[in-house]
């Protein structure tokens, strides 16, 4: 398999010696031990709260389900701590409210959780790092009435009683205590689309956040916001933990004596073993989508087809289903199940097979074609390598990525993947290697090449998947595909020009219905490829440096989109373009 170079943003590199020490600490549960010997864990499924208590060094007990009488678990008062930031994030993201980056001035003590003086932090990093200054309701200008209407829709009734804490953003304070079942039910009220961005951001917690290096136990299953506070009514009794969702959408909460970092690192092996097994998306209320994205595959790219035959004879162009047989020009035959495939006619009338799959389905097919799932840790490493290769080499096609099934790239099994391969792909959902051009081979290792035979040997010797990846790609980092959207390389020249023009523009814009000046000037970020666009919820514009009149019109165009985000005219491209041209061509003397 070959791949081209990838320019990756600089991140903290893997340090094998430090990681080996961290692994030893975690395996022995001797470093960063929690202060107490128990950990409380609860989740919500099918409307029922399940709770159990873990004991240090003991096997997880069976969950005790509290449905009709949740007093034993669900009625437990728990502090919000930092969890209030998660509810602000989801509300603002789901409502399309601006969440401009927070810029650290170096004069506020709490900025230690955010960024260094002179730097800034975006919404996803702020959530993973627990930057409270970013999510201040006053800074984001959260109003009580829209907030209340939003949670009324989510909960099915006005927030009152056990949900009274959601009635006003001003009520979200770290010291506020809430019933555990109301916290879990509030998390359950959010549909997959509403929590998607938050989950992607929270995957960083087990990579380089409070639970750094615990990814080997959790994979991408755990999407939680951490908190460190104290037991209600006992300021000297520290309480740390996290709450959020599992990958299948199950709301989850856990806590114990100590800080969130100590809890995650000290309890990771036992906690991972005690989490409820995944359920199919169709069986979980509000479950997350099985795949984050889709892949279009050109099958048998290097092997021309002569014909494709189905149960009723020669297959016709269009969607296929069920068992089929492909006859190649070299005389070879292949039986396969054609679910998710389409037959088309290429030049000369030759048949072409194309598949459209979710990313995890695609990764599972590659895993079965290139390796296998018999050794789980080796399979996890190969699944992450395959997803990384896809990320680096596939070309965009609409909302999907397109790639060939070829030995020159990576081979894709045409049959439905096995449950074991799908489980590995979903366990590693969104995890990728960032840095070098990712390659792998069946038996031959090399620089930045994962040899499958070597991965198998390491797995059988007890090495976890992240250590296998660190050995194959020593200059890389394990990260999340698509988390946080694009990073922003600021175009200060564009921003300065916008700031200078805005006072003139507002003489016209203030008369336009729906105009609302952003609380902060939009950040203008460099765009390497594609068409310029604006991220209205994050108050950011992506474009190229200013070099002429058309670039200035582009900047004005995207600013108008942001300034009219709450009015129907903000979606009228013709009106926005016309207004942008008027702004750029304003004659100051006539004004």
For residue 550, the domain's CATH number is 3.30.2010
Pairing of strands 523-526, 540-543: parallel
3-state secondary structure of 49: strand
CA distance 80 to 66: 22
**Are residue 278 and residue 298 in the same domain, yes or no?**
no
What residues form DSSP beta bridges with 539? Answer: none
**Are residue 570 and residue 421 in the same domain, yes or no?**
no
**Would you give the DSSP letter of residue 101?**
P
Domain count, the chain: 3
Whether 146 is in a domain gets the answer no
Residue 546 lies in domain: 492-584
Is 494 within 8 Å of 540 (Cβ atoms)? no
| Contacts of 447 by beta carbon, 8 Å cutoff, 6+ apart | none
- Look at the block and give the residue holding tokens 């292949």: 334
**Are residue 242 and residue 266 in the same domain, yes or no?**
yes
Is 373 within 8 Å of 380 (Cβ atoms)? no
Whether 264 is in a domain gets the answer yes
- Look at the block and give the residue holding tokens 């202060």: 35
**Are residue 331 and residue 255 in the same domain, yes or no?**
no
What residues form DSSP beta bridges with 387? Answer: none
Closest to 353 (Cα-Cα) out of 325, 394, 313, 383: 325
**Are residue 434 and residue 319 in the same domain, yes or no?**
yes
Whether 67 is in a domain gets the answer yes
Is 301 within 8 Å of 405 (Cβ atoms)? yes
Q: What is the pTM of this model?
A: 0.73
| Contacts of 266 by beta carbon, 8 Å cutoff, 6+ apart | 29, 31, 32, 33, 34, 258
Report CA 414 to chain centroid distance, whole Å: 28
Instruction: Give strand ranges (E) for 299-350.
Output: 305-310, 313-314, 318-319, 323-328, 333-337, 341-345
Q: Of 422, 456, 480, which one is at a domain's C-terminal end? A: 480
Whether 450 is in a domain gets the answer yes
Q: Of 283, 317, 332, which one is at a domain's C-terminal end? A: 283
Residue 512 tokens read as: 């336009």
| Contacts of 258 by beta carbon, 8 Å cutoff, 6+ apart | 34, 35, 36, 238, 239, 240, 266
Whether 149 is in a domain gets the answer no
pLDDT score of 7: 28
Closest to 333 (Cα-Cα) out of 342, 324, 321, 346: 324
**Are residue 270 and residue 347 in the same domain, yes or no?**
no
Whether 390 is in a domain gets the answer yes
pLDDT score of 527: 76
C-alpha distances (whole Å) from 40 to each of 52, 203, 244, 246, 253 are 6, 21, 15, 16, 8
CA distance 494 to 500: 10
**Are residue 476 and residue 335 in the same domain, yes or no?**
yes
Q: Describe the strand order of the beta sheet including 400-404 as a list of residue ranges.
A: 318-319, 341-345, 351-358, 294-298, 400-404, 395-397
Pairing of strands 294-298, 351-358: antiparallel
pLDDT score of 212: 83
Q: Of 244, 263, 283, which one is at a domain's C-terminal end? A: 283
**Are residue 258 and residue 319 in the same domain, yes or no?**
no
Phi, psi of 170 (to 5 degrees): -65, -20
**Are residue 431 and residue 570 in the same domain, yes or no?**
no
User: How crowded is the C-beta side of 101, counted as CA atoms within 13 Å?
Assistant: 23
Residue 163 tokens read as: 């949900």
Closest to 425 (Cα-Cα) out of 365, 375, 483, 356: 365
CA distance 464 to 375: 11
CA distance 77 to 231: 9
**Are residue 439 and residue 307 in the same domain, yes or no?**
yes
User: What does the buried/exposed string (b/e) look like for 496-505 if buried means 16 or more CB atoms within 10 Å of the residue's CB?
Assistant: ebbeebbeeb
* Residue 462 burial (CB count, 10 A): 9
| Contacts of 381 by beta carbon, 8 Å cutoff, 6+ apart | 450, 455, 459, 465, 468, 469, 472
pLDDT score of 144: 96
**Would you give the DSSP letter of residue 347?**
G
pLDDT in tens, the chain (591 residues): 433 322 223 333 333 323 332 333 333 333 344 445 899 999 999 899 999 999 987 776 654 443 333 446 788 999 999 999 999 999 998 888 889 999 999 889 999 889 888 889 999 999 999 999 999 999 999 999 999 999 999 999 999 999 999 999 999 999 999 999 999 999 999 988 788 889 989 999 998 888 888 999 999 999 999 999 988 888 888 999 999 999 999 999 999 999 998 899 899 999 999 999 988 644 333 333 446 678 999 999 888 899 999 988 999 899 988 899 999 989 999 999 888 889 998 877 789 998 988 899 999 999 999 999 999 999 999 999 999 999 888 888 766 889 999 877 789 999 889 999 999 999 999 999 987 788 898 888 888 899 999 999 999 999 999 999 999 998 788 888 864 445 567 788 999 999 999 999 998 999 888 898 887 788 888 876 666 877 765 677 888 999 889 999 999 999 998 888 777 777 677 888 999 999 998 754 343
**Are residue 298 and residue 278 in the same domain, yes or no?**
no
User: How crowded is the C-beta side of 433, counted as CA atoms within 13 Å?
Assistant: 30
Whether 457 is in a domain gets the answer yes
Whether 124 is in a domain gets the answer no
**Are residue 473 and residue 496 in the same domain, yes or no?**
no
């Amino acid at each position: 398999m070959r791949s081209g170079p990838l320019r990756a943003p600089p991140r903290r590199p893997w340090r094998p010696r430090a990681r080996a020490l961290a692994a030893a600490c975690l395996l022995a549960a001797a470093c960063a031990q929690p202060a107490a010997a128990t950990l409380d864990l609860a989740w919500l499924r099918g409307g029922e709260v399940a709770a159990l208590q873990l004991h240090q060094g003991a096997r997880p007990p069976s969950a005790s389900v509290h449905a009709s009488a949740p007093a034993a678990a669900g009625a437990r008062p728990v502090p919000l701590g930092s969890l209030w930031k998660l509810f602000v994030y989801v509300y603002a993201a789901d409502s399309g409210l601006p969440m401009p980056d927070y810029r650290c001035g170096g004069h506020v003590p709490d900025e230690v959780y955010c960024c260094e003086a002179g730097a800034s932090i975006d919404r996803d990093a702020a959530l993973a790092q627990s930057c409270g200054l970013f999510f201040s309701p006053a800074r984001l200008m959260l109003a009580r009435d829209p907030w209340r209407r939003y949670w009324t829709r989510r909960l099915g009734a006005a927030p009152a009683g056990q949900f009274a804490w959601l009635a006003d953003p001003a009520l979200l304070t770290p010291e506020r205590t809430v019933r555990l079942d109301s916290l879990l039910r509030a998390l359950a009220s959010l549909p997959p689309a509403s929590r998607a961005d938050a989950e992607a951001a929270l995957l960083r917690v087990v990579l380089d956040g409070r639970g750094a290096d615990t990814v080997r136990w959790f994979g991408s299953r755990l999407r939680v916001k951490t908190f460190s506070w104290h037991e209600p009514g006992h300021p000297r009794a520290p309480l740390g933990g996290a709450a959020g969702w599992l990958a299948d959408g199950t709301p989850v909460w856990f806590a114990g004596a100590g800080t969130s970092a100590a809890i995650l690192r000290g309890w990771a092996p036992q906690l991972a073993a005690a989490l409820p097994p995944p359920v199919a998306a169709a069986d979980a209320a509000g479950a997350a989508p099985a795949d984050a994205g889709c892949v279009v595959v050109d099958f048998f790219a290097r092997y021309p087809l002569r014909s494709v035959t189905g149960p009723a004879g020669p297959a016709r162009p269009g969607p296929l289903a069920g068992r089929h047989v492909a006859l190649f020009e070299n005389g070879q035959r292949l039986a396969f199940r054609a679910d998710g495939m389409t037959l088309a006619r290429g030049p000369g009338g030759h048949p072409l097979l194309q598949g459209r799959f979710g990313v995890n389905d695609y990764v599972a097919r590659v895993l079965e074609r290139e390796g296998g799932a018999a050794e789980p840790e080796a399979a996890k490493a190969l699944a992450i390598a395959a997803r990384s290769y896809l990320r680096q080499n596939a070309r965009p096609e609409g909302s999907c990525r397109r790639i060939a099934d070829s030995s020159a790239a990576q081979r894709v099994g045409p049959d439905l993947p096995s449950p074991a391969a799908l489980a590995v792909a979903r366990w590693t959902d969104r995890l990728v290697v960032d840095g070098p051009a990712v390659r792998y081979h069946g038996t031959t290792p090399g620089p930045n090449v994962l040899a499958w035979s070597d991965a198998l040997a390491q797995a059988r010797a007890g090495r976890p998947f992240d250590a296998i990846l660190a050995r194959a790609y020593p200059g890389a980092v394990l990260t999340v595909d698509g988390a946080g959207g694009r990073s922003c390389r600021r175009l200060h020249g564009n921003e300065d020009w916008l700031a200078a023009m805005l006072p003139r523009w507002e003489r016209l814009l203030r008369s336009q219905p729906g105009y609302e000046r952003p609380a902060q000037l939009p950040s203008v970020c460099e765009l390497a490829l594609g068409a310029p666009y604006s991220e209205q919820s994050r108050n950011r514009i992506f474009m190229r440096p200013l070099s002429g009149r058309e670039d200035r019109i582009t900047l004005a165009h995207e600013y108008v989109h942001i300034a009219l985000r709450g009015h129907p005219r903000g979606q009228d491209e013709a009106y926005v373009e016309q207004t942008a041209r008027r702004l750029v061509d304003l004659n100051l003397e006539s004004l």
